[in-house]
Amino acid sequence: MADFTLSGLNAALPYNGPFAPSVGHAGQSFFKDASKAIKTSEIQCQTFFFLSCNNLIFNDTKLYGPRYNLVLNAIDGYASTIVAAIGVQSADNPELDLVMKHAGNKNISRMLNKKLSDVQPFVSIIHVGLPENSEVDGTTSAAVRLTPTTKIILSRLSSYISSMMLGQEHLIYKLAKNILFDFMQRTRRGTFGVSDAEAKDFELSLINRVNPFSKK
Protein backbone atom coordinates (compact mmCIF):
# COMPACT_ATOMS: atom_id res chain seq x y z
CA MET A 1 0.00 0.00 0.00
CA ALA A 2 3.09 2.21 -0.13
CA ASP A 3 2.42 5.33 1.97
CA PHE A 4 -1.18 4.33 2.62
CA THR A 5 -2.23 2.11 5.52
CA LEU A 6 -5.41 0.75 7.07
CA SER A 7 -6.71 2.21 10.29
CA GLY A 8 -9.30 0.94 12.75
CA LEU A 9 -9.54 4.18 14.72
CA ASN A 10 -13.05 5.00 15.88
CA ALA A 11 -12.85 8.41 17.52
CA ALA A 12 -16.40 8.04 18.88
CA LEU A 13 -15.27 5.36 21.33
CA PRO A 14 -13.45 6.22 24.58
CA TYR A 15 -10.30 4.35 25.58
CA ASN A 16 -8.34 4.42 28.81
CA GLY A 17 -6.43 1.15 28.62
CA PRO A 18 -2.70 0.76 29.27
CA PHE A 19 -1.82 -0.01 25.63
CA ALA A 20 -2.60 1.81 22.41
CA PRO A 21 -1.00 2.45 19.01
CA SER A 22 1.06 5.63 18.70
CA VAL A 23 -1.95 7.77 17.81
CA GLY A 24 -3.54 6.81 21.14
CA HIS A 25 -0.86 8.44 23.28
CA ALA A 26 -0.77 12.10 24.24
CA GLY A 27 1.56 14.09 22.03
CA GLN A 28 1.95 11.25 19.53
CA SER A 29 0.69 11.21 15.96
CA PHE A 30 -0.19 8.49 13.49
CA PHE A 31 2.94 6.48 12.60
CA LYS A 32 2.49 7.40 8.91
CA ASP A 33 1.01 10.33 7.07
CA ALA A 34 -2.41 10.60 8.75
CA SER A 35 -3.95 11.95 5.54
CA LYS A 36 -3.21 8.60 3.90
CA ALA A 37 -4.74 6.48 6.66
CA ILE A 38 -7.79 4.63 5.30
CA LYS A 39 -10.43 3.66 7.84
CA THR A 40 -11.73 0.16 7.23
CA SER A 41 -15.27 1.44 7.83
CA GLU A 42 -14.97 3.73 4.80
CA ILE A 43 -13.94 1.08 2.27
CA GLN A 44 -16.88 0.19 0.05
CA CYS A 45 -16.80 -3.54 -0.57
CA GLN A 46 -18.99 -6.57 -0.10
CA THR A 47 -16.41 -8.85 1.51
CA PHE A 48 -13.44 -7.82 3.59
CA PHE A 49 -10.53 -10.25 3.98
CA PHE A 50 -8.29 -9.83 7.03
CA LEU A 51 -5.86 -12.71 6.54
CA SER A 52 -2.85 -11.43 8.46
CA CYS A 53 -2.25 -13.31 11.70
CA ASN A 54 -4.38 -12.29 14.70
CA ASN A 55 -6.57 -9.78 12.88
CA LEU A 56 -9.72 -11.00 14.64
CA ILE A 57 -8.59 -11.68 18.19
CA PHE A 58 -10.94 -12.65 21.00
CA ASN A 59 -11.77 -10.11 23.66
CA ASP A 60 -9.66 -11.74 26.39
CA THR A 61 -6.54 -11.80 24.21
CA LYS A 62 -6.71 -8.31 22.75
CA LEU A 63 -3.91 -5.78 23.18
CA TYR A 64 -5.80 -2.65 22.14
CA GLY A 65 -9.41 -1.77 22.88
CA PRO A 66 -12.32 -1.49 20.41
CA ARG A 67 -11.34 2.11 19.63
CA TYR A 68 -8.45 0.85 17.50
CA ASN A 69 -9.81 -2.47 16.18
CA LEU A 70 -9.59 -2.98 12.39
CA VAL A 71 -12.31 -5.63 12.20
CA LEU A 72 -14.81 -3.86 14.46
CA ASN A 73 -14.32 -0.72 12.43
CA ALA A 74 -14.99 -2.68 9.24
CA ILE A 75 -18.17 -4.14 10.75
CA ASP A 76 -19.39 -0.57 11.24
CA GLY A 77 -18.81 0.09 7.55
CA TYR A 78 -20.06 -1.13 4.18
CA ALA A 79 -18.89 -4.75 4.14
CA SER A 80 -21.61 -7.35 4.65
CA THR A 81 -19.15 -10.19 5.06
CA ILE A 82 -15.80 -10.33 6.83
CA VAL A 83 -13.34 -13.21 6.63
CA ALA A 84 -10.59 -12.91 9.21
CA ALA A 85 -7.80 -14.83 10.97
CA ILE A 86 -8.38 -15.48 14.67
CA GLY A 87 -4.78 -16.43 15.36
CA VAL A 88 -1.52 -17.37 13.74
CA GLN A 89 -2.10 -19.05 10.38
CA SER A 90 -0.09 -20.06 7.32
CA ALA A 91 -2.03 -18.54 4.43
CA ASP A 92 0.28 -18.10 1.44
CA ASN A 93 0.11 -18.17 -2.35
CA PRO A 94 -2.22 -21.22 -2.50
CA GLU A 95 -4.76 -19.45 -0.30
CA LEU A 96 -4.41 -16.10 -2.06
CA ASP A 97 -5.04 -17.90 -5.34
CA LEU A 98 -8.19 -19.41 -3.81
CA VAL A 99 -9.40 -15.99 -2.63
CA MET A 100 -8.87 -14.46 -6.06
CA LYS A 101 -10.89 -17.23 -7.72
CA HIS A 102 -13.65 -17.70 -5.14
CA ALA A 103 -13.92 -14.43 -3.20
CA GLY A 104 -17.68 -14.37 -3.69
CA ASN A 105 -18.24 -17.91 -2.44
CA LYS A 106 -20.33 -17.96 0.73
CA ASN A 107 -18.14 -20.73 2.15
CA ILE A 108 -14.78 -19.12 1.44
CA SER A 109 -13.64 -19.35 5.07
CA ARG A 110 -14.33 -23.11 5.12
CA MET A 111 -12.54 -23.46 1.81
CA LEU A 112 -9.51 -21.64 3.19
CA ASN A 113 -9.42 -23.80 6.33
CA LYS A 114 -9.65 -26.92 4.17
CA LYS A 115 -6.80 -25.66 2.01
CA LEU A 116 -4.68 -25.10 5.12
CA SER A 117 -5.57 -28.43 6.73
CA ASP A 118 -2.39 -30.16 5.56
CA VAL A 119 -0.18 -27.78 7.54
CA GLN A 120 -2.44 -26.80 10.46
CA PRO A 121 -5.23 -29.12 11.62
CA PHE A 122 -7.22 -26.41 13.37
CA VAL A 123 -9.59 -23.64 12.36
CA SER A 124 -7.73 -20.36 11.98
CA ILE A 125 -10.02 -18.33 9.69
CA ILE A 126 -13.65 -17.53 10.46
CA HIS A 127 -16.55 -15.88 8.69
CA VAL A 128 -18.36 -12.89 10.22
CA GLY A 129 -21.76 -12.04 8.79
CA LEU A 130 -25.03 -13.65 7.76
CA PRO A 131 -24.42 -15.40 4.43
CA GLU A 132 -27.11 -17.18 2.49
CA ASN A 133 -27.52 -20.87 3.23
CA SER A 134 -25.50 -22.93 0.80
CA GLU A 135 -23.76 -26.26 0.64
CA VAL A 136 -20.07 -26.43 1.39
CA ASP A 137 -18.13 -26.31 -1.85
CA GLY A 138 -16.48 -29.69 -2.18
CA THR A 139 -14.38 -28.79 -5.20
CA THR A 140 -11.52 -27.25 -3.23
CA SER A 141 -8.34 -29.13 -3.95
CA ALA A 142 -5.51 -29.52 -1.52
CA ALA A 143 -2.56 -27.20 -1.92
CA VAL A 144 -0.12 -28.31 -4.59
CA ARG A 145 2.86 -30.13 -3.16
CA LEU A 146 6.22 -31.32 -4.44
CA THR A 147 6.10 -34.33 -6.77
CA PRO A 148 7.37 -37.74 -5.54
CA THR A 149 10.39 -37.50 -7.84
CA THR A 150 11.29 -34.08 -6.45
CA LYS A 151 11.05 -35.40 -2.89
CA ILE A 152 13.34 -38.34 -3.70
CA ILE A 153 15.98 -36.14 -5.32
CA LEU A 154 15.99 -33.63 -2.48
CA SER A 155 16.09 -36.42 0.08
CA ARG A 156 19.09 -38.08 -1.54
CA LEU A 157 20.93 -34.79 -1.88
CA SER A 158 20.31 -34.19 1.81
CA SER A 159 21.69 -37.65 2.63
CA TYR A 160 24.93 -36.89 0.81
CA ILE A 161 25.42 -33.94 3.12
CA SER A 162 24.09 -35.25 6.44
CA SER A 163 25.38 -38.86 6.33
CA MET A 164 28.95 -37.75 7.18
CA MET A 165 30.21 -40.34 4.69
CA LEU A 166 31.75 -37.63 2.52
CA GLY A 167 34.20 -34.96 3.58
CA GLN A 168 33.29 -31.32 3.07
CA GLU A 169 35.94 -31.04 0.37
CA HIS A 170 34.57 -33.98 -1.63
CA LEU A 171 33.25 -32.96 -5.06
CA ILE A 172 29.91 -34.75 -4.59
CA TYR A 173 29.42 -33.15 -1.18
CA LYS A 174 30.02 -29.68 -2.62
CA LEU A 175 27.71 -30.24 -5.60
CA ALA A 176 24.94 -31.68 -3.43
CA LYS A 177 25.19 -28.79 -1.00
CA ASN A 178 25.04 -26.17 -3.75
CA ILE A 179 22.01 -27.76 -5.45
CA LEU A 180 20.20 -28.27 -2.16
CA PHE A 181 20.85 -24.69 -1.10
CA ASP A 182 19.48 -23.33 -4.39
CA PHE A 183 16.34 -25.49 -4.44
CA MET A 184 15.35 -25.90 -0.81
CA GLN A 185 14.63 -22.17 -0.55
CA ARG A 186 12.05 -22.65 -3.30
CA THR A 187 10.20 -25.47 -1.53
CA ARG A 188 8.71 -23.31 1.20
CA ARG A 189 4.95 -23.38 1.19
CA GLY A 190 3.51 -21.18 -1.54
CA THR A 191 6.90 -20.34 -3.05
CA PHE A 192 7.18 -22.66 -6.05
CA GLY A 193 3.65 -22.23 -7.36
CA VAL A 194 0.01 -23.07 -6.90
CA SER A 195 -0.68 -25.42 -9.82
CA ASP A 196 0.33 -28.94 -10.82
CA ALA A 197 2.04 -27.55 -13.91
CA GLU A 198 4.27 -25.29 -11.80
CA ALA A 199 5.16 -28.19 -9.51
CA LYS A 200 6.11 -30.23 -12.58
CA ASP A 201 8.24 -27.38 -13.92
CA PHE A 202 10.01 -27.25 -10.56
CA GLU A 203 10.70 -31.00 -10.82
CA LEU A 204 12.05 -30.65 -14.37
CA SER A 205 14.41 -27.82 -13.45
CA LEU A 206 15.70 -29.89 -10.53
CA ILE A 207 16.25 -32.94 -12.74
CA ASN A 208 18.15 -30.83 -15.29
CA ARG A 209 20.34 -29.49 -12.51
CA VAL A 210 21.02 -32.97 -11.08
CA ASN A 211 21.67 -34.84 -14.35
CA PRO A 212 25.28 -33.64 -14.81
CA PHE A 213 25.88 -34.17 -11.10
CA SER A 214 24.64 -37.81 -11.28
CA LYS A 215 27.51 -38.70 -13.64
CA LYS A 216 30.15 -37.73 -11.06
pTM above 0.85, yes or no: no
Interval 37-94: pLDDT, tens: 899 999 998 889 998 888 887 766 677 778 888 888 888 888 888 999 988 888 888 8
Section 85-107 average pLDDT:
85
Closest CA to 134 of 116, 108, 96: 108
CA distance 127 to 41: 17
Q: DSSP letter string over 167-203?
A: -TTSHHHHHHHHHHHHHHTT-STTTS-SSHHHHHHHH
Percentage helix, strand, coil, to 5, in the chain? 40, 10, 50
